[in-house]
Amino acid sequence: MSASTPTTATGSTAVARGVRIEAHEVRKSYGRKTAVEGVSFVLAPGERVGIVGESGSGKSTMAKIITGLEKSSAGSITVDGRELNDLMSSRQGQLEYRRRVQLVAQDTTSTFDPRHRIRESLRIPAQILGGHDVAGADAAIAEITAELGIEPAWVDRYPGELSGGQRQRMSIARALIVRPDLVVCDEAVSALDVSVQGVVLNLLKRYSVEHGAGLMFVSHGLPATAFITRELVVMNAGRVVETGRTLELLERPSHPYTQKLVGAYEDADETAA
Ligand SMILES: Nc1ncnc2c1ncn2[C@@H]1O[C@H](COP(=O)(O)OP(=O)(O)OP(=O)(O)O)[C@@H](O)[C@H]1O
């Protein structure tokens, strides 16, 4: 990661930063069902890491654990060397972690309250996590929407008055308004058509590059993951089967499961051609 101070699209300066997350032998069970088992990986500050695997492989469970929405059953997650569980044990620690680590989920219905205009849903993190008053929150909304190329008029609509793609861009604005050090995306573009996917992927990549922020990109879509990430973690049946640089791993997958995953995409590509 560069130590320089990059300039954002809006011309304001952004301090390069990030957060180091280390997962060590993480297990999560729901009753007798084990969702993830013995998962270890490192998310270096400012790095863009993809978590890929078939449905049910444990990707979302890891995203929930990393964002503090779920507690692991065993193993440890450290955040810049501190245990995540310790950090989340106090209200102050939770607020600090939410300011540094934000989730963009696929389902925007839980992100936005249908009874409120989008502006109100954007003001909440800007005020609670960003420490802004209402005027400051509105200025932050104007800045982030301009930076993400979002139509200013969308902000004063209700969620139901936006298309799925527009709402997804708003959910990215909601996550980025607090200038997080890490953005965790859980199938954030899977439901979007390819052209809107491209816009959203570019927004996320640009934020990561301009702010030196990390990205954890959970997806079963290999092309999108290959575009946006530099490292990959391949999961199967709750376990990590392979890790490596994205392009190298997709070109030369060594684990049979990764070979099958990559092969399935190549076959689909040929069928579409
Ligand atoms: N709350 C829960 N209660 C019981 N089982 C769960 C729960 N959440 C996840 N699981 C199970 O854990 C396993 C991993 O689920 P997870 O959602 O992490 O997979 P995933 O790789 O994200 O799948 P998808 O791509 O379909 O979202 C699955 O077998 C799932 O049924």
Does residue 32 have its Cβ closer than 6 Å to ligand 1?
no
**What is the pLDDT at residue 5?**
39
pTM of the model: 0.89
Q: What is the mean pLDDT of the chain?
A: 89
Q: Are 185 and 215 in contact (CB under 8 A)?
A: yes
Whose Cα sits closest to atom 2 in ligand 1?
30
Which residue has the least CA distance to atom 26 on ligand 1?
55
In the chain, the N- to C-terminal Cα span, in Å, equals: 38
Q: pLDDT above 90 covers what percent of the chain?
A: 72
At the topology level, CATH places domain 21-109+184-272 in Rossmann fold (3.40.50)
Instruction: Please work out whether the CB of residue 236 comes within 6 Å of at least one atom of ligand 1.
Output: no
DSSP one-letter code for 242: E
Query: How far is CA 165 from each of CA 171, 211, 216, rounded to the nearest angstrom?
Result: 10, 24, 20
Residue nearest (by alpha carbon) to ligand 1 atom 10:
35
Whole-angstrom Cα distance, residue 167 to residue 109? 9
Domain ranges of the chain: 21-109+184-272
Ligand 1 neighbourhood includes 72 CB (under 6 angstroms)? no
pLDDT digits (tens, 9 = 90+) for 176-202: 999 999 999 999 887 788 888 888 899
CA of 183 to the centre of ligand 1 (A): 21
| Model pLDDT for residues 59-70, shown as the tens digit of each residue | 999 999 999 999
- Helices 118-128, 164-176: inter-axial angle, 10-degree rounding: 20
- Is the per-residue pLDDT at 16 higher than 70? no
pLDDT band at 28 (very low <50, low <70, confident <90, very high): very high
